[in-house]
Structure 1
């Protein structure tokens, strides 16, 4: 059983002056992808965490500042995005290739 928190929703109560939040959505063919698996990999490609996107295709990770790779996988395809995260809110989109 996955212990991942529910994805999406507001960041109420989160101190963005001290937290590094990586959040975004997964898209394929112009639409958000619900139920996609999104992995967070560190700068050496080591697995750090995995979540499943919300019904709106949203995901969120709490991480340390630095370079991170996001890999998404769903029945419609797979996608990847590299992000340089800083303290605060870091938003991105991962687009799936067919």
Structure 2
């Protein structure tokens, strides 16, 4: 079976001096959004990856350093953030309007 890794949890065991991690959460009306689809798009808006948020609204991607767009789609709406990711932990919040 092919599936996205479970979202959330710790980064223990991940060498953040060599990995670029983009993680965050999706929120709507002051609450986290569970089960939202979060897409990672490159600087040309090309689809790269997709995950589903955890029950706490969390998501995580392992990517290359650079400019990325994080787009969230949920039954309550959609939101988007641009992230300029560097090696290490890059955190963001996507707010659905």
TM-score band w.r.t. shorter chain: over 0.9
In the superposition, the TM-score normalised over structure 1's length comes to 0.97
CA positional deviation for 1:55: 0.1
Structure 1 gap ranges (5+):
none
Query: CA offsets, 1:13-46, max 9 Å, x none?
Result: 0000000000000000000000000000000000
Q: What is the CA distance between 1:2 and its match in structure 2?
A: 4.7
Task: Report the CA distance shift for 1:2/1:72 in structure 2 as closer, same or farther (over 3 A).
Answer: farther
Structure 1 residue 73 corresponds to structure 2 residue 73? yes
Aligned residues: 97
Deviation above 3 Å: which 4+ runs of structure 1? none
Partner of 2:48: 48
Tell me the TM-score normalized by structure 2. Answer: 0.98
Give me the whole-angstrom Cα distance separating, in 1, the residues matched to 2:22 and 2:16.
Answer: 11
